A and B are shown apart, each in its own frame.
Chain A
Amino acid sequence: MADIATHDIDHATDNATDHATGHGHHSSTGLSNNKLAMWLFLGSECLLFGGLISTYMLYRGRVQNGPHPSQIYDIPFTSVSSFVLLMSSLTMVLAVSSAQRKDDTKTNLWLLITALLGATFIGGQVYEFTAFYREGLGFTTSLFGSSFYSLTGFHGVHVSIGVIMLLSLMGIIKKGKITGDKAEVVELIGLYWHFVDIVWIIIFTLVYLIPS
């Protein structure tokens, strides 16, 4: 009887610790609840971007009096931006790998490089939007303009949030404020980062490379 009571107390303590640290290793699925929630979130994000991409596909030919996509797209420039974002996925996975080896210095270095690559991509997008606006494509110029800016703008916001999360993560790692599994926290932010990369893989092909 005393053994059972002790076991119950231990079990309760484990659960309390899990809640405190945010771990999900002792969940009924045997998986991390945080990771499960992140994958569920990413699955739902597919629906958000699916809606934006299909709206663009429908309206990309509706240019009214504004410029046509082929008149304003700068494929060499966007290709370099795409390459930068793709390489940021490599640096992110190297950060996750370093975190799993408990190497904080390398983790922070790769996170910083990833954030810088993300910021470079955002800088490129701001430049592109400015250039398009000067060439006569405003948000309300045409259905093409509205759907283009909504799609790429939403993606840009996701990348910007990712950069903020990366920089915040670096800060909390340096201050040693992660009480739970550090590698899992880095991995969760990594999953979000890779997701914005795969969305861009689709946008780059469907929006920029395939003409209307």
Chain B
Amino acid sequence: MTTVTETHEDAHEHGMSDAGYVKIAIILALITGLEVSTYYVDFGPLFMPSLIIMMVVKFVMVVSYFMHLKFDSKIFSFLFYVGLGLALFVYITALATFKFFIA
């Protein structure tokens, strides 16, 4: 009984149970399947936005649930997202300098 309680408390403390992780993995696998389907099915003007959205959703799900950022201290989130934000700012600016976004 003690073991069950401890296990439950551990899962609560660290965010999720093993079953929860499996559910997240199933959702990630389904999104990956949908991403691959864009190679075979014509999504028209939704092709690019849908791929970007699915990529961002997968990224956030792995970072939030598998890397526990959703449940951990906000300082960890700050350190990671500041690095990510800085990288996005620097490289989007660099790409814009090379007129990458102009068709």
Residues of A that sit less than 8 Å from B by CB: 29, 31, 35-36, 39-40, 42-47, 49-51, 53-54, 57-58, 75-76, 79, 82-83, 86-87, 89-90, 92-94, 96-97, 100-101, 187, 190-191, 194-195, 197-198, 201-202, 204-206, 209-210
Contacts and interface: CB of A to CB of B under 8 A. Distances in A.
B25 A86 contact: yes
Contacts of A42: 80, 83
Interface in B35-81: 35-36, 38-39, 48, 51-52, 54-55, 58-59, 62-63, 65-68, 73, 75-76, 79-81
B79 A97 contact: no
Contact of B25 (A87, A100, A198): A87
A198 B62 contact: yes
A100 B10 contact: yes
B87 A47 contact: yes
Contact of A36 (B22, B36, B79, B94): B79
Interface in B9-47: 10-11, 14, 18, 21-22, 24-25, 28-29, 32, 35-36, 38-39
10 contacts: A43-B81, A46-B80, A46-B83, A51-B91, A53-B91, A89-B66, A190-B67, A191-B67, A198-B58, A205-B51
Contacts of B95: 54, 57-58
Nearest to A203: B55
Contacts, number: 121
Contact of B21 (A40, A46, A93, A202): A93
A39 B79 contact: yes
Contacts of B48: 210
A35 B76 contact: yes
A35 B87 CA distance: 21
Contacts of A209: 35-36, 38-39, 51
Considering residues A50, A93, A96, A101, which has the most beta carbons from chain B within 10 angstroms of its beta carbon?
Answer: A93
Q: Which 9 A-B pairs have the closest CB atoms?
A: A43-B83, A50-B87, A90-B25, A54-B91, A205-B55, A46-B87, A39-B79, A46-B83, A79-B36
Contacts of B24: 90
Nearest to A44: B83
A92 B54 CA distance: 22
Contacts of A39: 76, 79-80
